[in-house]
Amino acid sequence: MPDPSASNPNAIPPVIDSKPPLSGNPQIPKEERTIPSIESRLRHNILKMPEEIRQASGIVIYGRRIKSLVFTTDLAIIKNCDADAVFAVYPFTPQQSISNAIISCASVPVFCGVGGGTTRGMRTISLAKDVESQGAMGVVLNSPISNVNLLGVSRAVDIPTVITVVSKETDIDARLAAGAAILNVAGGKDTAEIIRSIRKKHPKVPIIATGGKSPESILATIQAGANAITYTPPSVQELFSTMMARYRQ
């Protein structure tokens, strides 16, 4: 095969991998692979994300693949679950003290809500800059936010801007043009349908979506085209009631 650099001095020569082959047979059947698991006498009773979420492709952000996001602001759950990330969005005006507590406590990346509904304008930009400096991996904006406000947030921070989508009528092109890096589809029972509608025109845009609580709904959401799933865990009270029932036996 002729060397392209011989006729074009500016051409980049092909890279040849000269690494020696791995010894043995690296093609181990998937069913025979084992994943080491380390637990302790005390830290074995963690909240596990549904296994179905592992079938999602995931979204790679700064080299880290994220498939599952636990949708909570409860620090006890955040510290005792196996989610890939935290989706810290709550129905109150975002406050820096709350985001700081969650980011400081979490051992995984955190996506912080910074408004878009009641909280808008310069405050959302200020909050986005604050959570970025605190260490958030991304900022989440609610669906009512204007494209102008979305653009302001996306230009103010260097972390992904996640925009929530609740309807098929949302102008996705305008959202992407305004700087949305990831779509968060939260359409209730219509979530899978909304995702399919988006995928017809935008096959590669990263999508996080609510998957519901049943294995069937999670798989349906992934099959529709979601790359990652937000999972709403049981409350601490619900989890504790099971433990108390065991203690009473």
Q: Which residues contact 78 (CB under 8 A, 6 or more apart)?
A: 70, 72, 86, 102, 105, 106
Residue 214: CB atoms within 10 Å: 11
Q: Write down the pLDDT at residue 12.
A: 45
The pTM is what? 0.82
Q: Write down the pLDDT at residue 241.
A: 82
Q: Which two tokens stand for residue 138?
A: 């991304």
Q: Write down the pLDDT at residue 117.
A: 87
Residue 106: CB atoms within 10 Å: 21
Query: pLDDT tens string for the chain (249 positions)?
Result: 445 444 444 444 444 444 444 444 556 555 556 778 777 776 667 889 999 999 999 999 999 999 999 999 999 999 999 999 999 999 999 999 999 999 999 999 999 999 998 888 999 999 999 999 999 999 999 999 999 999 999 999 999 999 999 999 999 999 999 999 999 999 999 999 999 999 999 999 999 999 998 999 999 999 999 999 999 998 888 877 877 877 788
Question: Measuring CA to CA, how many Å separate 65 from each of 55, 108, 182?
Answer: 13, 11, 14
Q: Write down the pLDDT at residue 88.
A: 97
Segments of 49-160 assigned E as strands: 59-61, 64-66, 68-70, 85-88, 110-113, 138-141
**Number of DSSP helices (H) and strands (E) in the chain, helices first:** 9, 10
Q: Write down the pLDDT at residue 202.
A: 97
Q: Write down the pLDDT at residue 44.
A: 66
Residue type, position 233, single letter: P
Residue with tokens 């492709």: 57
Q: Could you tell me if 106 and 136 are in contact, meaning their C-beta atoms sit under 8 angstroms apart?
A: no
Distance between CA atoms of residues 137 and 61, nearest Å: 8
Distance between CA atoms of residues 142 and 151, nearest Å: 14
